[in-house]
Structure 1
């Protein structure tokens, strides 16, 4: 798969951002519809950025079948069938493998099924769907499209060893015969897109019921996890993926900087959050995850509020911003599932106090050092150990750092991938760390591309140095929540 190689530095691209304001169903039932970015609408901007997905999907399927080597793969569309979302799952997490390989985003019950058959002669890619066949071909580039109800019919005859098929069967059951050819006469390898994480206390996943049905019909089935092949592909972003991720980062920068400008005493954290999210929506993006805006000062004290309502609201996520405090942001816009993930900390009064500066600069020095260490061959564990060492040297700050140095980003904000193998060019990482020192919390998260000989800091255009943040705070915001709320 082609690794993205930008002709113009990505940091330079960011300087040209647009201004902010300018029968079968029972056996193989699937969960409810999954829509792009979990939203009920799809923006014109998102559709424009889907240009090229058909070609990318064709290349991805070819790469996937090369990695398969043998057998058949069945990739089903689905939203999340289990209520436990874990730490990062979105409602359409289990749909994204299908989107990745087809360019078809919408999935209405009972969903679509993609079969890949690298050992076949004619039917190497087949789509089963109840959507309009011509539209399915246009979006995916898959020539052979059948009604969804034909899937198990075709799979039934495909289980027969190819050597046992009579000429008559070969003539009148072309699809099934080609599947049988691809499967061969010995072990029948079947790749299925299982969930990456599961909960055995929950009911069995209904979309995978067909696997048990196939197992009951033959002793030759060897079922494998398609994620073992898909994860390495999704970890290395191709041109289409990078195009969408870069746009998500650009939009996140615009929304985050607007939020950093307006986060002032008198407003609440939810009001600031909605300002950020509004910019994302205005540009046609979705939310990679819920935007977090929270107080980051006096965390070692019992905060006092003027009213009982303010105290309750603070407990439920809407704290009033107070004078002299820091405000922490954790946010990421998404474009066609590709999500940024960025954290910043700003002074509510526009300037850092001396103590805030001390903690801020110390944590920032760690962030810059870890980002500078990113390059091919480095491991996640090495970056984690470096972070812990530097925070400890700063004054024992590692004791308050209770999470990991980062994660891959891609179609998931915490993208699937191999966290043991060394980094490779084309991966995009979120590097995140922070500390709480005497009640003052400072945390950063930045998106970093691994290049052939090092790294590119994709989110560097968002102010992070102390003087940059204070200069940004002096700029007038394009959005003024105070005016809309009548607080002027």
Structure 2
């Protein structure tokens, strides 16, 4: 678990990057209807979680560096015994002050009256415009009202996209984050092992998906970090196949791409194995070339290398393998230059991992591939 001390440290770092005379506004995720009057399980917005650990909808974090009465404010739902009987406990204002260390807390229903006053005289408004159209309109409405009120004085501050600074912070993982991510990876690896042990011809893809989900859940990871891909035979050639409904055939391969989410942190593992437990000669040859490519990519990952290094290493090995298997013809360097491998390997190798499975953070800095540093995952 991430401590409230660490959440506070994250907020402090962000406010240092924001500077004086600024304000940050970070809304929570919204509940999403699944069908009619039922909702999907609520999952907090990743940025909101990163700064607070507070797991309720209808909430807004406000950060105001240098504010006399406290720089960390939360607007959230009030306690309501009747609604809590139906839908679960709420922290209320006292709860977020006590348990989530907010300096101030106000009912979310009062945000239109209170937040514009907090925005007044702030030169920079840090906000992720474009994530939530309805909330965007509210923020712009507050700004326009302030501009009308302050007509004849200095114009109201500009909106700055908070994601650049915040996502750069999220890119570097703390020891606590790495510990959680290691646990997520361990659970996910156990799920893949279970899936391998249970696989046999005649089962359906969803049978294997259920084994994976069972292993996640029994270790405290109730949810997958993304829709699990369980793809038998030709389905494995669809990059984001999620139907998981076909029957597993003797002689085919099974591709599984699945990882759990554990305390908000994702794992992501892809493996392929023969459904009947025995490789054909051709299957083993392809498998071994892919394994060599993975091993070559892993060897490049170290501080000082750039993020393209694993991809370049994998492409080199895979292209060589495609030539040796007779699928491509020509010199490996020329084939790589001409991207002749792309019909068989059309994506990059790897991605950032964290609170989101495809985690945030720039892959290029100044037009060049980003250099890998300690703490990046």
Q: TM range, normalised to the smaller chain?
A: 0.7 to 0.9
Cα distance, 1:298 vs structure 2:
9.8
- d(CA) in 2 for partners of 1:339, 1:298: 24
Identify the match of residue 60 of structure 2 among 86, 97, 113: 113
Residues 417-432 of structure 1 mapped to structure 2, 5 A cutoff? 417-420=361-364, 421-428=370-377
- d(CA) in 2 for partners of 1:416, 1:298: 29
Structure having greater relative contact order (Cα 8 Å, sep ≥ 6)? 1
- d(CA) in 2 for partners of 1:113, 1:375: 38
After TM superposition, the score normalised by the length of structure 2 is 0.79
The CA RMSD over aligned residues, in Å, is: 2.7
- d(CA) in 2 for partners of 1:266, 1:376: 46
- d(CA) in 1 for partners of 2:55, 2:312: 39
1:360 is aligned to: 287
1:230 is aligned to: 166
- d(CA) in 1 for partners of 2:184, 2:134: 33
1:283 corresponds to 2:219: yes
- d(CA) in 2 for partners of 1:356, 1:326: 8
Cα distance, 1:215 vs structure 2:
2.9
SS at match of 2:278: coil
Unpaired runs of 5+ in structure 2? 35-39, 78-90, 148-154, 323-327, 329-340, 365-369
**How many corresponding residue pairs?**
324
Tell whether the 8 Å contact from 2:268 to 2:357 is kept in structure 1 after alignment. yes
1:73 is aligned to: 24
Cα distance, 1:155 vs structure 2:
3.2
2:245 is aligned to: 318
Tell whether the 8 Å contact from 1:76 to 1:193 is kept in structure 2 after alignment. no
| Structure 1 residues 380 and 138, CA gap change in structure 2 (3 angstroms) | same
After TM superposition, the score normalised by the length of structure 1 is 0.62
| Structure 1 residues 392 and 157, CA gap change in structure 2 (3 angstroms) | same
Identify the match of residue 133 of structure 1 among 71, 93, 96: 93
1:98 corresponds to 2:48: yes
1:55 is aligned to: 5
1:242 corresponds to 2:192: no
SS at match of 1:403: coil
Residues 400-479 of structure 1 mapped to structure 2, 5 A cutoff? 400-420=344-364, 421-428=370-377
1:213 corresponds to 2:213: no
SS at match of 1:408: coil
- d(CA) in 1 for partners of 2:67, 2:190: 49
Identify the match of residue 69 of structure 2 among 122, 127, 140: 122
Which digits, 9 at most, give the CA deviation of each residue in 1:257-311, with x for residues without a partner? 00011111111111111111111112221110121111246989xxxxxxxxxxx
Moved more, 382-391 or 66-75: 382-391
| Structure 1 residues 80 and 403, CA gap change in structure 2 (3 angstroms) | farther
Identify the match of residue 125 of structure 2 among 190, 206, 226: 190
